[in-house]
C-alpha cells in the first residue's frame, strides 16, 4: 500500500492543484543530519520533541534565507505538506519523530503568476531542505539544522487561502485524531542483533540484499551527503530526502515516481516506511515504527 501512495503522488499533485542564523539556546552541537537538543522546562506545554505539536498551519518567521509564507503540516490523508506564499501553492511530504528529527520536501507547484516570481522550476523556500530537526519551545515549533542552529520559527494561527487551484479543505486546520497520535508515537527500538546505523555508515549506494551480481538494471538507493537520496526500483527513477539520528533513527521522504511496469523492487517504499536502520553484519536492515523489517540492502559492488 505504501508503494501505491508514492507512485500516485504525481497524479495526486495534479488533482489537488487542478492541473496547473540564530541558535535556540541552549542547544548542543550535533553532527550533520542528527537532532540537536534544547533545554526546555518540563511540565510546561508539549514535549520539546513531540511531532504531533508540528501539525497545524503556521506562519514562517525568523527564517534563514527569508521569512514569510505559510506552511501547513498535516497527516498524509489531510494534505501532508502544503506551502503557501505570494508565488503560489506547493505540495510535498514531511516526516518527524519523537527523537526530534524532521525532514521535508516539496514536489509539486501551482504558480500564482504574480510579477517577480520565478517563471521556471521552483523548489520552494531555501530554508526547508536545511531543516533536519525540530524543538517546541513555549508552544512554538522551531526548525533546526544539523548543528542545532535555528532555520525557522513557526507561529500559530495562520489562515491560508486555498485559491482557485486547491481543494478548500486543504486550507482548513488539520485534525489530530487518536490514529494520528499513534502514528507519530515513538518508534520501537531496533530488533536484537542489529547495530544502529549512523549517518556516515549510510552514505553511499546500496542494492537489495538478494540482487544478482551483475545486474544490468539494478534497483538501488544512494544516500547522498547533501541530505538527498536517489534510486530506482529497477526501471523507475525515484528520490527524496533523508535524515538520520541516534539509536539508528532514520526518516526519509519519497517524491513522485514514474510508472513504468517491470519486475521491480519497492526500495522507495522500504525507505519511506522505515523509522530505524540497523546493520546485520554488512547488510543494512530497514525497520518500521513497530519494529518490523521493511527491506534489506547491501553495499553496491
Q: CA 219, CA 231: separation in Å to the nearest integer?
A: 7
153 plus 199 within the same structural domain: no
Domain that includes residue 111, residue range: 21-183
93 plus 179 within the same structural domain: yes
Q: CA 190, CA 278: separation in Å to the nearest integer?
A: 7
- Higher confidence at residue 85 or residue 8? 85
Instruction: Check: CB of residue 72 under 8 Å from CB of residue 160.
Output: yes
Q: CA 125, CA 289: separation in Å to the nearest integer?
A: 30
pLDDT of 124: 81
Taking only the tens place, the pLDDT of each residue in 180-190 is 999 999 999 99
- Model confidence at 88, pLDDT cuts 50, 70, 90, reads confident
Number of structural domains found in the chain: 2
Query: Of 183, 207, 230, which residue is a domain's last?
Result: 183
Q: Is residue 2 part of a domain?
A: no
pLDDT of 51: 97
244 plus 102 within the same structural domain: no
28 plus 161 within the same structural domain: yes
Pairing relation of β-strands 102-111 and 204-208?
A: unpaired
Which H, E and C letters describe the chain, residue by residue? CHHHHHHCHHHHHHHHCCCCCCECCCECCCCCCCCCCECCCCCCCCCCCCHHHHCEEEEEECCCCCCCCEEEECCHHHCCEEEEECCEEEEEEEEECCCCEEEEEEEEEEECCCCCCCCCCCCCCCCHHHCCEEEEECCEEEEECCCCEEEEEEECCCCCCCCCCCCHHHHCCCCCCHHHHHHCCCCCCCCCCCEECCHHHHCEEEEECCCCCCCCCCCEEEECCCCEEEEECCCCEEEEEEEECHHHEEEECCCCCCCCCCCCCCHHHHHHCCCEEEEECCEEEEECCCCCEEEEEEECC
206 plus 170 within the same structural domain: no
Q: Output the CA torsion sign for 250, 255, 258, 261.
A: positive
Q: Is residue 13 part of a domain?
A: no
| pLDDT of 165 over the 90 cut | no
| pLDDT of 19 over the 60 cut | no
pLDDT of 41: 33
For residues 77-97, average pLDDT: 93
> 294: how many CB neighbours lie within 10 A of its CB?
20
37 plus 169 within the same structural domain: yes
159 plus 292 within the same structural domain: no
Amino acid at each position: 500500500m505504501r508503494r501505491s501512495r508514492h507512485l500516485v503522488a504525481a497524479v495526486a499533485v495534479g488533482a489537488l492543484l487542478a492541473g496547473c542564523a540564530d541558535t535556540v539556546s541552549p542547544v548542543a552541537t550535533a553532527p550533520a543530519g542528527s537532532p540537536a537538543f534544547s533545554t526546555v522546562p518540563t511540565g510546561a506545554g508539549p514535549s520539546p520533541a513531540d511531532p504531533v505539536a508540528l501539525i497545524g498551519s503556521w506562519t514562517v518567521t525568523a527564517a534563514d534565507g527569508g521569512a514569510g509564507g505559510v506552511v501547513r503540516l498535516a497527516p498524509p490523508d489531510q494534505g501532508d505538506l502544503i506551502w503557501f506564499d505570494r508565488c503560489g501553492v506547493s505540495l510535498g511530504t514531511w516526516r518527524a519523530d519523537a527523537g526530534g528529527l524532521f525532514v521535508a520536501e516539496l514536489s509539486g507547484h501551482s504558480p500564482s503568476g504574480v510579477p517577480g516570481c520565478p517563471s521556471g522550476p521552483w523548489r520552494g523556500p531555501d530554508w526547508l531542505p536545511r531543516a533536519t530537526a525540530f524543538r517546541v519551545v513555549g508552544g512554538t515549533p522551531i526548525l533546526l539544522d544539523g548543528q542545532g542552529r535555528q532555520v525557522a520559527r513557526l507561529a500559530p494561527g495562520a489562515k491560508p487561502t486555498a485559491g482557485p487551484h486547491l481543494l478548500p479543505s486543504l486550507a482548513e486546520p488539520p485534525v489530530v485524531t487518536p490514529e494520528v497520535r499513534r502514528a507519530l508515537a515513538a518508534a520501537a527500538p531496533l530488533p536484537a542483533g542489529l547495530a544502529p546505523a549512523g549517518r556516515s555508515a549510510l552514505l553511499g549506494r546500496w542494492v537489495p540484499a538478494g540482487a544478482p551480481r551483475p545486474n544490468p538494471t539494478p534497483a538501488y538507493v544512494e544516500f547522498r551527503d547533501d541530505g538527498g537520496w536517489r534510486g530506482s526500483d529497477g526501471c523507475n527513477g525515484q528520490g527524496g530526502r533523508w535524515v538520520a539520528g541516534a539509536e539508528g533513527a532514520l526518516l526519509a521522504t519519497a517524491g513522485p515516481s514514474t510508472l513504468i511496469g517491470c519486475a521491480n523492487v519497492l526500495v522507495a517504499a522500504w525507505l519511506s516506511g522505515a523509522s530505524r536502520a540497523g546493520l546485520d553484519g554488512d547488510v543494512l536492515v530497514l525497520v518500521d515504527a513497530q519494529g518490523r523489517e521493511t527491506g534489506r540492502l547491501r553495499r553496491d559492488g
